[in-house]
Amino acid sequence: PRERIALLADDGSFVEMNAALLSVDPVRFGNAGESNVVGSDVLADAVVTGTAWFGGREAVVIALDDALIGAVLGAVTGEKTLAAFEVAQQRRIPCLLMVAGGTARMDAGPLSLVQHNRLAATFARLHVSGVPVIGVVTHPTSAPMFQSLASHCDLLVAEPGAKVGAWGGLAGVAAPDAPTTPDELMQAGLLDSVVDRVALRGFIERLLNLIAQQSPPYRPIASTRSDPALPSARDALEASQRERRPTARDVASAIASVWIPVRGDRLERDDDAVIGGIARIHARSVVVIALDRMAGSPTLSSVRKATRLARLAGHLDLPLLMLVDTNRQSLRQQAPFAVGQGSAKLASVLSLLPVPVVSVVVGIAGGPLSLAALQADRVLMQTNAVLCSTSSEIPVPFTIRHRASDELGVVAPAHECLRLGLADAVIDEPRPAADMDPESANERVRQAVNEAIGEIAASGQRRLLDRREARLRSLGQSTPEGRAAAIHEVGDLQDWQRALGETIDEWRDRWEQRRSQTGKMTLQRPDLGELAGRLRARRTELLERTGIGERLANLPEEIRTRQQSREQARDQEKPPL
């Protein structure tokens, strides 16, 4: 480890820490009266920690030796690593972590099993404190070591040929689908760059210089043009999608003098639809997110990658620049639900970032991810950039189409967005469009970005968040035209509600009229006395009509006569005594 540190650090600048920290036997077996400290000096070199200078920037260094590290970090190696992290946190200086080892086929002790939790808690405190951690993966490194140390680094690079995750574990081998080579790790979104050992020193110096460099003081720049072009929605939409027009990737590479790529979402894969990195623009370090229209439709990995870059900007206390350029084909289909859900969370993250956030629309801004990227302190648009929810090929209802320009659906060019308060400034392009003079167009974008970031950074963090909250709260209503458009929208909504109410009243009147024509049934409680009298009268009437009443009246006399006749007949039939 000391030789590796000497190859990377400035000559004679390394100062070692905790060199006398040795390992003892915390668990006594059998009749062993004392700990076996034979070879303790060698075991102490398993992790070498200290401070060093890299290109004039001080950093804490932690280097692991693959020949001495066991299956996982032990109690002493873990303690030395944690102590070095705490020094970086107290002094607010970056930390360089060189990961290796963990390839020994042996069982971990009980104290080694809990080192992962201790390291995770310390990494969390470093992130909250704003201390950057740069990781270098060397050969060989086991999967447990990669997961315990390397996965927590803000930026992670690997040397060519380094093998990761191919050793360790119970069976001594990795899962068959686990990434092992640096290229596979980058495709899986777990690695940012592969840097040769010869070039690693310069890479670390540039990266530390970008992270630790102070922003220059803000100096306003006078505008040189006051007559921006006002293209129609159709012309702007056509110009924004020309093949020769600089894409977001082209603009990012043109305006950055130094570029350190940041790849992957740290979970699944690296999606080229989002290009990210740490760059220097006009002596100012910024984190860049570029949505490239040439890479296809954004996916959930794109959203996760953009969210990671946004959090990285807040963690490193660097301004965030987002270059928006949506693929037109992606507007012809509905975005996946997961992309919309992730974009909503990205918008929440952007609204709370304690650093300046600037969005520049260099083409079409449409779709969930692009609209979330407009959650910024300043929104700049090139002259032929447009805000679009559908393309001209998608049929839209007439109630929406009649408000759009040139019958292209909901398409708003840059000057219209500026008039409505959706954009803060328009970056004038070379006439007639940026593809005629890409260098001049990119230079104007660079100047506008530097001006916007400098103006925002001049205020404190608390004032920055308050102004962002006020801007987003009044978005679309900060100009007289925007307020008029909002009032118009409210009027249309009220007209719709009024028409709906009139329709409901009309149907109610029709229902009442139909009920009145069919008559109403009323139920009253009957009078029992009256009902009994009516029943008796009805009974008498029926008896008189049928003559049954007279027969019933003579019925008792007939019964008595028949009874007497039967008695006389019986008397005559009796024999004489």
Q: Do 158 and 265 fall within a single domain?
A: no
Question: What pLDDT sits at residue 61?
Answer: 96
Question: What pLDDT sits at residue 303?
Answer: 95
Q: Name residues of the chain where pLDDT drops below 70.
A: 21-45, 67-72, 102-113, 166-177, 215-229, 390-409, 477-490, 518-526, 547-556, 573-577
Q: 479: burial class by Cβ within 10 Å (0-12, 13-18, 19+)? A: middle
Residues 6+ apart with CB under 8 A from 381: 360, 361, 365, 387, 414, 417, 418, 423, 425, 426, 427
Please report, in angstroms and rounded to a whole number, the separation of the first and last CA atoms in the chain.
156
In a domain, 509, yes or no: no
What is the chain's Cα-based Rg? 43
Count structural domains, the chain: 2
Helix axes 337-351, 461-473, angle to 10 degrees: 130
Which of 432, 450, 476 is the C-terminal boundary of a domain?
476
- Token pair 């040439």 is found at 294
Q: Do 249 and 320 fall within a single domain?
A: yes
Q: Do 260 and 383 fall within a single domain?
A: yes
Contact 144, 169 (CB under 8 A): yes
Distance CA 150, CA 139 (A): 13
Question: What pLDDT sits at residue 461?
Answer: 87
Residues 6+ apart with CB under 8 A from 59: 51, 52, 53, 88, 93, 94, 95, 96, 208
In a domain, 107, yes or no: yes
Q: Do 129 and 257 fall within a single domain?
A: no
CATH (domain of 343) = 3.90.226.10
pLDDT-above-70 percentage for the chain: 77
In a domain, 567, yes or no: no
Tell me the CA distances in angstroms from 103 to 136, 164, 222, 255, 261, one per residue in order: 17, 10, 61, 44, 30
Which residues constitute the domain of residue 61?
A: 2-26+37-211
Question: What pLDDT sits at residue 65?
Answer: 82
Question: What pLDDT sits at residue 485?
Answer: 64
Residues 6+ apart with CB under 8 A from 94: 57, 59, 60, 88, 131, 132, 133, 134, 208, 211, 212
In a domain, 75, yes or no: yes
In a domain, 50, yes or no: yes
In a domain, 153, yes or no: yes
Q: Do 239 and 289 fall within a single domain?
A: yes
Q: Which two tokens stand for residue 354?
A: 């304690």
Which of 476, 494, 521 is the C-terminal boundary of a domain?
476
Q: Do 270 and 140 fall within a single domain?
A: no
Q: Do 270 and 395 fall within a single domain?
A: yes
Q: Which two tokens stand for residue 324?
A: 């928006």
In a domain, 64, yes or no: yes
pLDDT tens for 520-563 read 555 566 677 788 888 888 877 877 777 666 666 666 677 777 77
- Token pair 């260098």 is found at 439
Contact 89, 133 (CB under 8 A): no
Q: Which of 259, 268, 270 is nearest to 321 (CA)?
A: 259
Distance CA 308, CA 143 (A): 22
Q: Do 235 and 160 fall within a single domain?
A: no
Q: Do 106 and 6 fall within a single domain?
A: yes
Q: What strands, in cross-sheet order, belong to the sheet with 258-262?
A: 258-262, 274-281, 284-291, 320-324, 357-361, 378-382, 425-427
pLDDT tens for 114-172 read 778 888 999 999 999 999 999 999 988 888 888 889 999 999 999 998 888 754 444 34
